[in-house]
Amino acid sequence: MSQPDPRLPPPVLEHLPTTYLDRGIAVPFTTPQLAGARVRPAERVALELIVPNPSGGRGVYIIPWEDLTSLCRPTVFDLRLSAMVNAVNGVTPATIRKAARAIAAQGYAGRTAAAAARTADESDRQAGMIANFTLLLELVRAVEKPGENPVPPEKERPAELERRARRAVARVAPDLGRTPESIATALEEIGTLFSGIGLRAGQSGARLQALLARLILLRQELARFIETNPPDGMPEADLVAGSLDLTINCTRATLADAHILSADIVGMLKRWITAPEEMAHIIARADWLLDGWERVVNLWETADHPGETVVTLAEMCNLVPVIPRELGNWVSQHINIDVDITRHRRRVILLEDWRTGRSISDMVARNENLLA
Partner 1 sequence: MSNQIRNSDPATKPQLRSMQRQLAEANDPQLMRVVAMVDAMQDRGEADQLIAPLRARLSVLRPRRPMSLARLLFTPLNPIIVSGPEWRRGMLAIPRTALQPLADLVRDGAARQCADAERRVTGLSTNHTEEINAIGREIWPQAAKLLRSSSPPETWTEATGLQAADFSIIVNQAAAGLMYGDDILNLIAQAQRGKDPANFEYEHLLDSAMEAGADGLAIVMALLASRLPRAETMLIAAEDIVARQGEPALRQAADRAVDAMLDGMDTKSVSGSPLGSAVGELRRMVGLLEDIDARSGQRPTRRAKVEKIRQQIDSASRQKFTKSLDIDLLKPAEQLATASDQEVTNLEAAARGLRNFEQAARRLGGADQYDRQLRSAAEALRPQADETPQTFADRIRLIEILQGSEAAAALLGS
The answer to whether the beta carbons of residues 309 and 225 sit under 8 Å apart is: yes
Start-to-end CA span in the chain (Å)? 46
Which among 283, 306, 296 has a CA at the least distance from the CA of 367?
296
Which among 332, 325, 250 has a CA at the least distance from the CA of 286?
250
Length of the chain: 372
What sign does the CA torsion over 107, 109, 112, 117 have?
A: negative
* Alpha-carbon gap, residue 187 to 192, rounded angstroms: 9
75 binding partner 1? (CB under 8 A): yes
Between residue 204 and residue 263, which ones bind partner 1 under the rule CB under 8 A?
232
> Judging by DSSP bridges, how do beta strands 47-52 and 38-41 pair with one another?
antiparallel
- What is the DSSP code (8-state) at residue 66? G
Of the pair 157, 355, the CB lying nearest partner 1 is at 355
74 binding partner 1? (CB under 8 A): yes
Between residue 105 and residue 134, which ones bind partner 1 under the rule CB under 8 A?
106-108, 110-112, 114-115
Of the pair 63, 114, the CB lying nearest partner 1 is at 114
56 binding partner 1? (CB under 8 A): no
* Alpha-carbon gap, residue 108 to 27, rounded angstroms: 15
The distance of closest approach from Cβ of residue 353 to partner 1 in the complex, given in angstroms and rounded to an integer, is: 4
- Quick one: which of 145, 306, 333, 339 contacts partner 1 (CB under 8 A)? 306
76 binding partner 1? (CB under 8 A): yes
20 binding partner 1? (CB under 8 A): no
304 binding partner 1? (CB under 8 A): no
- What is the DSSP code (8-state) at residue 109? T
54 binding partner 1? (CB under 8 A): no
Between residue 326 and residue 365, which ones bind partner 1 under the rule CB under 8 A?
352-353, 355-357, 359, 361-362, 365
The residues binding partner 1 (CB under 8 A) are: 73-76, 78-80, 106-108, 110-112, 114-115, 232, 306-307, 310-311, 352-353, 355-357, 359, 361-362, 365
